[in-house]
Structure 1
């Protein structure tokens, strides 16, 4: 088996079926298996997939375990040389998986690879090519320095927007919407950190991968569409909370010991202020 494709589903039946169908229609060279891990959906996804795609392995959780834990469950039952984390709200295009597999086979120094991702409206999804959220890069991003000084590496590190979206480049991190990772490296560095419920686990994994000395590569020759946020389109309180909790977890895990108390307090206060502001903004968004 070349690639084990892990898809975590939570109440996105139609999108999940579209994701699966796109894989089947566009993947012709790599030998693959699809493992669907369902997080206690109530929209009939499991029954629909089992009926229409009987060869797919379906794992049914009795509760919503989150993105990290569900992916880990799928990975532990995978048999592929590579593991591909693929969101249920995506659509791979033009032999995307075949191209990524072939590139990884040709470049043994690369641990994980991700394609160029566009959103449904055609905009580029910057999450597929980004830097780690250091206090400095986050500060510059918050103040829009990356827009005031386009192409500047120091100020554009958060999104790595000084790198062309159409060129192959080594980056800090990819998005968990599509990450092809060597199974042998996963065995060395470990699974996704289950402390992260639905955000931040991809950043954490890429950080650990690079710390172990492996490369993380952005590969725009392969392309995909991300129908972003469909599994959490109505911003629930838990969704907003988990997004900000992931910031806190990532900082504490990777940066806390590297920065002084003043920087740490600044980060904590920033997260603490942003959380209620996000709640308020979401209330107005719902009303409108």
Structure 2
């Protein structure tokens, strides 16, 4: 099996130094050797609520990242109306699908998946995420070499290639809430004082011990989460990851943030049309957290309510989100793929009725990432559509971070699904 793993590493874009490529393959081989020798098993739990297209793309990347790891993938359909299971089950026959007839909320739905999970480690993963092929093996290797790590998270970027500060956080406090609401955290993003909640003073590219991990990507030792009883079901949505992070730390384990690799998190797709409503839910979750963990909760609760009203007011006044406005324009879409797959992409664009957005194509032959970057600069592109695995997911993420401000979408071999157009 190990020989199979070594020979079938993710394809690379030619143009890098051979020695570098060989070292990457050796490093990956050593990680997988650790995992196989110690028989580390992984259960991946994904909760869907009306984002079937995102679940499909997420599963494509999860399968690529886990094919050499003893794993199980569990998708909990949380009272969706998008016909997710009949659509996806034939495409992913080895994935376990669980159907809840009602929307249980994030915590209960993940706990439902946890009841079926048998892995040594549990990964709670949002459906609107895309992960590179080495992500899971790197995370498992960290657990193997750090016995006191109870849970870990990872660097996340959004669809514009921008770092998501919630990837690493401190526990919430009245001071951090004030600095965030007042705008001081945004004005001083690298400050350890004003942006304490997002740990702005810690480099996103380095590994750090942190206080809070994001539920969008949280890998936990199963022995710990079983002992803690899973997520606290008093939380419907939001706050449950903060609560679990605190309980893991209180049980004597550390929480680790990994600066490499990065994953894509489109962020909040299940709730993107209900921002004010979900802001209210978030602050309700903060009330629950404060009442559960803070002695002076009776003093803090009215302040949380005030922050909730102020934030909701700002949401109502603010103009519609940049993502929605961009997707409604459908302008200047640049395609990156192998030439032989170009017709497939054009057919997909036609299928979704967005051929008018097409600008041009860059064909992948033997270019390095730098040469692709040089070609991108020749176009006035607003959006980029990449076919996977014509380009490696890790290379695509590197390209996203070099082109912050352009919106990236993906299409996968054998699929006509394009994120944000389904």
1:125 and 2:164 correspond? yes
Superposed, 1:23-102 pairs within 5 Å as 23-102=62-141
Shift of 1:190: 2.0
Match of 1:285 among 313, 317, 320: 320
Residue 274 of structure 1 is matched in structure 2 by 311
Out of 100-109 and 235-244, give the one that drifted further.
Answer: 235-244
For 1:170, the equivalent position in structure 2 comes to 209
Matched-pair contact (CA < 8 Å) for 1:19–1:88: yes
Q: What number of residue pairs does the alignment pair up?
A: 284
Q: Work out the CA distance in 2 between the residues paired with 1:202 and 1:177.
A: 9
- Distance of aligned partners of 1:280 and 1:238 in 2 relative to their CA distance in 1, 3 Å threshold: closer
Preserved contact between residue 181 and residue 307 of structure 2 (Cα < 8 Å): no
Work out whether 1:250 is the aligned partner of 2:308. Answer: no
Deviations 1:115-154 (A, max 9, x none): 1110011011111111111111212222333455554323
Contact 2:207/2:256 (8 A) holds in 1: yes
Structure 2 residue aligned with 1:137:
176
Further displaced range: 245-254 or 13-22: 245-254
CA–CA distance in 1 between the matches of 2:46 and 2:67?
19
CA radius of gyration, larger in: 2
TM-score, with structure 2 as normaliser: 0.63
Q: CA deviation at 1:48?
A: 1.6
Contact 1:248/1:271 (<8 A) preserved: no
Instruction: Kindly indicate whether residue 154 of structure 2 is the aligned counterpart of residue 115 of structure 1.
Output: yes
Task: Classify the secondary structure of the residue corresponding to 1:285.
Answer: coil
Task: Return the alpha-carbon distance in structure 2 between the equivalents of residues 240 and 148 of structure 1.
Answer: 22
More displaced, 67-76 or 150-159? 150-159
Q: Counterpart of 1:225 in 2: which secondary structure?
A: strand
Equivalent in the alignment of 1:104: 143
Unpaired runs of 5+ in structure 1? none
Give me the whole-angstrom Cα distance separating, in 1, the residues matched to 2:234 and 2:119: 25
Alpha-carbon distance in structure 2 between the residues aligned to 1:7 and 1:264:
32
Q: Is the 8 A contact 2:152 2:257 kept in 1?
A: yes
Are the counterparts in 1 of residues 209 and 256 from structure 2 also a CA contact under 8 Å? yes
Shift, 1:176, TM fit: 0.6
Q: Which has the higher contact order (CA 8 A, sep 6+)?
A: 1
Matched, 1:153 2:189: no
Q: Give the structure-1-normalised TM-score.
A: 0.91
Whole-angstrom distance in 1 between the partners of 2:275 and 2:159: 22
CA distance in 2: counterparts of 1:265 and 1:42, whole angstroms: 37
Aligned Cα root-mean-square deviation (Å): 2.2
Q: Assess if the C-alpha contact under 8 Å between 2:283 and 2:304 holds in 1.
A: no
- Asked if the contact 1:22/1:91 (under 8 Å) is kept, the reply is yes
> Runs ≥4 in structure 1, deviation > 6 angstroms?
none
